[in-house]
Amino acid sequence: MADAKYDVLGIGNAIFDVLGQADEGFLVRHGMTKGGMALIDEARAAAIYKDMGPATEMSGGSAANTIVGTASFGARTAFIGKVRDDQIGGLYSHDIRAAGVAFATKAAAGGPATGCSYILVTPDGERTMNTYLGAAQELGPADIDENLVAASRIVYLEGYLWDPANAKQAFVKAATIAHGAGRQVALTLSDSFCVDRYRDEFLDLMRKRTVDLVFANEAELHALYQTSDFDTALTQLRADTKLGVVTRSEKGCVVASAERVVAVPAFPIEKLVDTTGAGDLFAAGFLFGLVRNAGHEAAGRLGALAAAEVIQHIGARPQVSLKELAGQHGLPV
């Protein structure tokens, strides 16, 4: 197997985040399910934006957030995602490259605008997302650079890619190329509502070993196996995938393989501000630990550290160097 040029390649929906604070009444008025992610059209996007208060705008997207986090630890990273050649697409491309991520996916010259997610953060720090996929859903097999995939140690895919049909084909193409080159494929389940939509297909990806590593939170795990019993679901996960990592908020995480289960505590925080990106940044730290061969427990601790950093401020991208932060806490970098 050839040496890898990149440690982690992320493939996902390129989405620009518009974050605002809102009370529970706002969610009720707009018919939103608190804590979830709903796909919306352009008209609903405009209505939500008009009713939002002051907003913070920044580049986002689940897999992209993870890749930016992994780069902040010092890993060599790349991203594949589709934007339009509009103003927001230009901002998005600039932001991800400025974070040290290789990004060469050709912008769409026509069609829908660059995707945006309107994220409402309630006073308890919970985030509710309303996503207009826009140009992101134009991502297709032609955007998968075979050489780039083959040159990446781990290819990381988001479950949200299962919504647009073209992106689903791109996902399968990337996984096939990665395995052909002796690389690993990781999947994040993204959202419990996403799991409800594609449960059988996600299980199929796991059982056929299209993916080697699965990230889930507790809600997604329960949705995947349709049980409220954590231990039952975890037993199933261990049977269905080579490696499963389940985040449990303040209870930390468990790293589960057929051989053993390792529990890793959460990192202490001073104040929970915004949970947007918590799972994305956890995955960033864990993937970094894997490519550094740090072992599952250290990888879990790196994930916990990154998640703790991101939930203490608005937005889903780190505000400090995660490499320096890990060094301060004696974690492997």
Domain holding 80: CATH number? 3.40.1190.20
In the structure, what pLDDT confidence band is assigned to residue 314 with cuts at 50, 70 and 90?
Answer: confident
126 in a domain, yes or no? Answer: no
Please compute the mean of the pLDDT values over residues 258-277 and round it to a whole number: 94
Alpha helix (H) residue ranges in the chain: 24-29, 42-51, 62-72, 87-98, 146-150, 165-180, 192-207, 218-225, 230-240, 278-291, 296-310, 322-328
Give the span between the Cα atoms of 255 and 288, in whole angstroms.
15
pLDDT score for 195 = 96
pLDDT score for 276 = 87
pTM of the model: 0.94
Please compute the mean of the pLDDT values over residues 279-294 and round it to a whole number: 97
What distance separates the 2 farthest-apart alpha carbons in the chain? 55
Q: Locate tokens 């039952």: which residue?
A: 232
Q: Locate tokens 């709903």: which residue?
A: 38
Q: What is the pLDDT of residues 3-37, one digit of tens each?
A: 899 999 999 999 999 999 999 999 999 999 999 89
129 in a domain, yes or no? Answer: no
Q: What is the pLDDT of residues 143-195, one digit of tens each?
A: 999 999 999 999 999 999 998 889 999 999 999 999 999 999 999 998 898 99
Please compute the mean of the pLDDT values over residues 295-310 and round it to a whole number: 97
Q: Locate tokens 């301060």: which residue?
A: 328
285 in a domain, yes or no? Answer: yes
Candidates 274, 262, 333; CA nearest to 308 is 274
Q: Locate tokens 């804590």: which residue?
A: 35
8 A C-beta contact, residue 285 and residue 297 = no
Phi then psi dihedrals of residue 245, to 5 deg: -125, 120
Q: What's the number of domains the chain is made of? A: 1
> In which domain, by residue range, is 300 found?
6-13+61-107+139-328
SS3 call for 307: helix
Q: What is the pLDDT of residues 75-132, one digit of tens each?
A: 999 999 999 999 999 999 999 999 999 999 999 999 999 999 999 999 999 999 999 9
Side chain identity at residue 82, one-letter code: K
Check residue 106 and report its DSSP letter. Answer: P
pLDDT score for 50 = 95
Q: What is the pLDDT of residues 195-223, one digit of tens each?
A: 999 999 999 999 999 999 999 999 999 99
262 in a domain, yes or no? Answer: yes
Give the H or E element holding residue 7.
Answer: strand 6-11
257 in a domain, yes or no? Answer: yes
Residue 1 has pLDDT above 60, yes or no: no
169 in a domain, yes or no? Answer: yes
pLDDT score for 2 = 65
pLDDT score for 3 = 84
32 in a domain, yes or no? Answer: no
Q: Cβ contacts of residue 269 below 8 Å, gap of 6+?
A: 308, 311, 312
